[in-house]
């Protein structure tokens, strides 16, 4: 009797787990993001919110995972550990073409879904460190980012362009961006790189402490921009008063990329279609979920994609007349 009862509970649980009330099999999907005080994490939350409220209709339940960032997310999507990842456009380009972290192995299963907000390479330095330009970084304690992050690659590109060898000329740290503000405030590092949308919690935290900090312009990058199609000149919009406690008061010149949303060719069309449809058809609402998303448009969300569109995304874009 007891055994039958246990079996009945298990069956009930199974049915409950795999079916929604209306019948279709429920699919659980995970979105890989970044540090919780970055922009990827709340943006991933916004996407999952859009999809979860239609859970009964689509049979999809999305959840968000805080991760090491772009490189980690692309790799986890490709191994099938997660279904979606947020990733910088330059990392998407490199993975598809087999460059940098994917040197010699183009990732042919990578698929693009849409792009999101612009991301700007942000170099934060303590006022008392005397760092006003890239050249001043020499001899300083600088966080260039954890290996799974997207910004580490940007930091390495920029340092090389400025003639700085991170191994010889810096005391380079490889910490996650989320740890950097405290390290600056505790006087354990002098500066850190973070490629991120604005406003970002990490930058708010870094600029709000007792140790005053400012943004360092990233200039002299003409050759880098020429060489890599994914970079563009950008500004950190300091004059928008996003970081009122920062010492910088004027907009700061830098370079930037765009955030993209990626998946794998092995994820089903229905899932990808549902995600794109919900975000595109409720774009005004989606944009209100984070200030960094404020300038998105259907047109901008098709820019900066290197990997082929996932067939589920393509289906939506054709139906909506966005693709011919």
Q: Is 35 in the site for ligand GLU (CB under 6 A)?
A: yes
Closest distance of CB 138 from ligand GLU, Å: 25
The total of other beta-carbon atoms located within 10 Å of residue 173's CB is 18
Q: Is 115 in the site for ligand GLU (CB under 6 A)?
A: no
- What three-state secondary structure class fits 290? coil
Assign 3-state DSSP to the chain and report helix, strand, coil percentages, each to 5.
40, 20, 40
Nearer to ligand GLU, 55 or 204 (CB): 204
Q: In sequence order, what are the beta bridge partners of 32?
A: 65, 85
According to DSSP, the β-strands at 27-32 and 84-88 are parallel
Contact with ligand GLU (CB under 6 A): which of 30, 46, 64, 70? 70
| Own/partner pairs, 231-234, CB within 8 angstroms, 24+ separation | 231/90, 231/255, 231/256, 231/257, 232/256, 232/257, 234/118, 234/120, 234/121
The token duo for 275 is 């995600």
Q: Is 48 in the site for ligand GLU (CB under 6 A)?
A: no
Q: Is 196 in the site for ligand GLU (CB under 6 A)?
A: yes
Q: Check: CB of residue 190 under 8 Å from CB of residue 131.
A: yes
Binding to ligand GLU (CB under 6 A): which residues in 122-141? none
Nearer to ligand GLU, 146 or 248 (CB): 146
Q: Is 119 in the site for ligand GLU (CB under 6 A)?
A: yes
Contact with ligand GLU (CB under 6 A): which of 39, 161, 221, 238? 39
Count interface residues toward ligand GLU (CB under 6 A).
Answer: 15
Nearer to ligand GLU, 29 or 292 (CB): 292
Nearer to ligand GLU, 197 or 312 (CB): 197
Contact with ligand GLU (CB under 6 A): which of 94, 149, 260, 306? 149
The token duo for 306 is 């290197």
Contact with ligand GLU (CB under 6 A): which of 111, 140, 151, 198? 151
End-to-end alpha-carbon separation of the chain, Å? 62
Nearer to ligand GLU, 120 or 274 (CB): 120
Contact with ligand GLU (CB under 6 A): which of 112, 195, 254, 263? 195
Instruction: Measure Cα distances from 28 to 61, 63, 285 in Å.
Output: 5, 8, 24
Omega cis (within 30) before 137: no
Nearer to ligand GLU, 88 or 306 (CB): 88
**Interface segment toward ligand GLU; rule CB under 6 A; list 161-169, 191-199, 297-305, 313-321:** 191-199
Torsion-angle region of 139 (φ positive above 0: left; ψ -120 to 50: alpha; else: beta): left
Q: Check: CB of residue 124 under 8 Å from CB of residue 213.
A: yes
Nearer to ligand GLU, 88 or 129 (CB): 88
**Interface segment toward ligand GLU; rule CB under 6 A; list 12-20, 93-101, 147-155, 271-279:** 147-155
**Interface segment toward ligand GLU; rule CB under 6 A; list 149-157, 203-211, 240-248, 316-324:** 149-157
Q: Check: CB of residue 275 under 8 Å from CB of residue 78.
A: no
Residues that bind ligand GLU (CB under 6 A): 34-35, 38-40, 69-70, 88, 119, 149-151, 195-197
């Amino acid at each position: 009797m007891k055994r039958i009862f246990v079996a009945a509970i298990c069956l009930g649980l199974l049915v409950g787990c795999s079916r929604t009330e209306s019948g279709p099999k429920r699919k659980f999907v995970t979105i890989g993001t970044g540090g919780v005080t970055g922009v990827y994490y709340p943006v991933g939350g916004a996407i999952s919110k859009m999809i979860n409220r239609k859970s009964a209709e689509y049979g999809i339940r999305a959840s968000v995972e805080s991760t090491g960032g772009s490189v980690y997310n692309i790799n986890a999507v490709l191994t099938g550990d997660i279904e979606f990842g947020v990733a910088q456009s330059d990392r998407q380009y490199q993975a598809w073409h087999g460059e940098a972290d994917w040197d010699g192995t183009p990732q042919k299963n990578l698929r693009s879904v849409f792009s999101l907000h612009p991301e700007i390479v942000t170099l934060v330095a303590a006022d008392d460190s005397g760092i006003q330009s890239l050249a001043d970084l020499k001899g300083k304690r600088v966080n260039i980012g954890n290996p799974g992050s997207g910004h580490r690659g940007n930091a390495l590109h920029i340092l090389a362009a400025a003639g700085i060898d991170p191994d010889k000329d810096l005391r380079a740290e490889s910490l996650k961006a989320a740890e950097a503000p405290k390290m600056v405030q505790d006087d354990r590092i002098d500066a850190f790189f973070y490629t991120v949308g604005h406003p970002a919690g990490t930058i708010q935290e870094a600029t709000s402490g007792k140790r005053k900090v400012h943004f360092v312009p990233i200039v002299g990058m003409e050759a880098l921009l020429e060489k890599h199609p994914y970079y563009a000149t950008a500004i950190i919009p300091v004059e928008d008063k996003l970081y009122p406690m920062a010492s910088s008061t004027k907009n700061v010149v830098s370079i930037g990329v765009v955030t993209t949303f990626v998946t794998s060719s092995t994820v089903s069309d229905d899932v990808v279609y549902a995600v794109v449809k919900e975000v595109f058809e409720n774009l005004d609402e989606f944009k209100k979920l984070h200030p960094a998303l404020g300038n998105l448009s259907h047109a901008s969300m098709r820019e900066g994609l290197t990997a082929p569109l996932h067939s589920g995304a393509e289906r939506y874009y054709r139906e909506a007349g966005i693709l011919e």
